[in-house]
Amino acid sequence: MGRKKIGKQVTACVCALIMAFGVAACGSSAGTAEPDVSGGQGKTINSGAAADSGRKDTWLADEMVTITYARPESSLQPYNPDCATVEWIRENLGINLQVSTYSDYETKMNTLLAANQLPDLFTIWGNVSDVVGTGCLMELSDLINQYAPNIQKDYENIPELSRYKMDGGIYTLAQIRRDDNWEQGSVPCIRTDLLKEQGLAVPKTWEELYDVLEELSKAYPDSIAYGTRGDDRLLFNYMSPIKGLGGDYGLYQDEDNVWHMGLLEDSYRDALQYIHRMYQSGILDNEYLIVSADDWKSGLGTGKYLFYYDNPVFLDTLNKTLRETNPDAKLEPIMFLENEEGKTVNYGHPNNYYNVWGISADTENKEVLMKFVDWLYSEQGGYLMNYGIEGTHWEMVDQKPQFLDSVVEEYKSRTGDPTYEAGSEIGIGDLFLDMSWYSNYDAAFKSTSEESWTRENIHKVYVNNMDCVIQQPIEPPYTAEESARITEINQSYMDYSKTEINKFISGERSFEDWDAFVQELISKGAQERVDIANQAEQRFAKGE
């Protein structure tokens, strides 16, 4: 479906943006075969002059082409205009990549959209259906067929990619993992040193966890047993403990590929009742709603919190902080917990991330831009954007890229996090532009100690139980009409549901009202949302 047809389906979305920012509608301005070659708010960087002197045969066009790229600003890994990869791209591909980073990314991108100033390439913001609906994303199918053999190969080998089409069109680009997935999702992590101190066994079930945390609360009254960063990771997100407790908040598929909404089911209510018990007993931080990610990490690092269910990659940093005042402190991951039905299940991190990038419908150099994007999906592009320049930053060892010892030593010797120091200076990693994604690229910068909780060592804890880890649900492709209706339904029920669910947790609303609450959600379109998913799934299964 073309840009104009999709835009007509969601005129209301565009109008809302215009009303919000008081300026006119959307657009942008301007950017394979794999070549054989051996800031602050509104920070825009020109990464070099666009002169084409010194042209190489590996350039993607006859002259230097400027491509503008925008992504969220990262305080961990600020963009460095002198990074090695951008220099290499300009010299060897003839692409002058101009990078802009924004701290309030969604607001800024909506402003650029309404002001007709979108960059050529950008990280998707907000609800992807809304962005597609404005007509400002280029439909990429024809360009991919003509200029992108690497992307074509991914569509052949990764069936899930087709689920992110809209009306049969390709409007977004994915981050494709090229190495092993060592990420088992959120996991339970607890102060095992305190368990030992109190003579408590490591819990194996959710009920045992409740009992253990209750004992820790009594033994350490100045601490709060369970800390979490806001309500999303506690009650709603696929990375929350809800699935482990036997429920779901959002859409999920059963074994017959039928879609359901967990929010409407008793299993979700039961999971909430467990968390409500923790809240009432003081096991769960009663101020969880206002706890930021930084405050949560600080609480874990100072001993305020003794347990969390979230990403385990923070463990080394947290333990380092804990041991400044308590050398024996150990915050460690434990096995997935069995729920009251006798099941152990956990949503893992996806193998790939979809709907990550988009290309402006009005970019002037669309053919060259698509060649560049396809090159980023190539093996060579993946190595460059994850490891840097071969021979300068890395070499092949046992047919795998590996950072040079001198590079690892250099960045480990600095005061900052070596992964982000290298990422910023070289121009690599998840916080820049790694469409081909080597998720374990930074392993060399992590501690090699057996006690260090690297991704590999965390994976070893769960490697024999990975059958408990399931993929997060991937919805079927929707038509523009369906996407517009889904947006309306989500706006109707989602914020309301979250507000009320927090009331159930605090006790402000009784679980005796649960059935009435479900009927309220149905009246706001929640069941229709499920019906749309099942209709689209049936259509997708038929190849329509």
3-state secondary structure of 72: strand
Residues 278, 345, 289, CA angle at the centre, nearest 5°? 35
Residue 43 has what pLDDT? 52
Mean pLDDT of 185-210: 98
**Position 532 pLDDT exceeds 60:** yes
How far lies 61's CA from each of 32, 57, 150, 435, in Å? 12, 9, 19, 21
pLDDT in tens, 274-298: 999 999 999 999 999 999 999 999 9
**Residue-wise pLDDT tens digits, 470-485:** 999 999 999 889 988 9
pLDDT given at position 448: 65
3-class state of residue 212 by DSSP = helix
Assess whether pLDDT exceeds 80 at residue 37.
no
Class of the CATH-defined domain 187-348+449-471 = alpha beta
Q: Where are the domains of the chain?
A: 65-177+354-427, 187-348+449-471, 480-542
CB 333 within 8 A of CB 187: yes
Distance CA 6, CA 211 (A): 54
What CA–CA distance (Å, rounded) separates 407 from 94? 27
Residue 26 exposure: Cα atoms within 13 Å on the Cβ side = 28
Q: What's the CA gap between 420 and 414, in Å, rounded?
A: 11
The residue among 131, 161, 150, 189 whose CA lies nearest residue 314 is: 189
Q: Could you tell me how many residues make up the chain?
A: 544
**pLDDT mean over 118-131:** 92
* Pairing of the two strands 173-177 and 394-397: unpaired
CA atoms within 13 A on the CB side of 113: 31
Lowest mean pLDDT among 98-112, 332-346, 452-466: 452-466
In this prediction, residue 47 has a pLDDT band, given cuts at 50, 70 and 90, of very low
Domains 65-177+354-427 and 187-348+449-471 share a fold: yes
**Per-residue pLDDT tens for 380-422?**
999 999 999 999 999 999 999 999 999 999 999 998 889 999 9
Regarding the domain with residue range 65-177+354-427, which homologous superfamily does it belong to in the CATH classification?
Periplasmic binding protein-like II (3.40.190.10)
Residues 349-363 as b or e (16 or more Cβ within 10 Å = b) = bbbbebbbbbbbbbb
pLDDT-based confidence at residue 2 (cuts at 50, 70, 90): very low
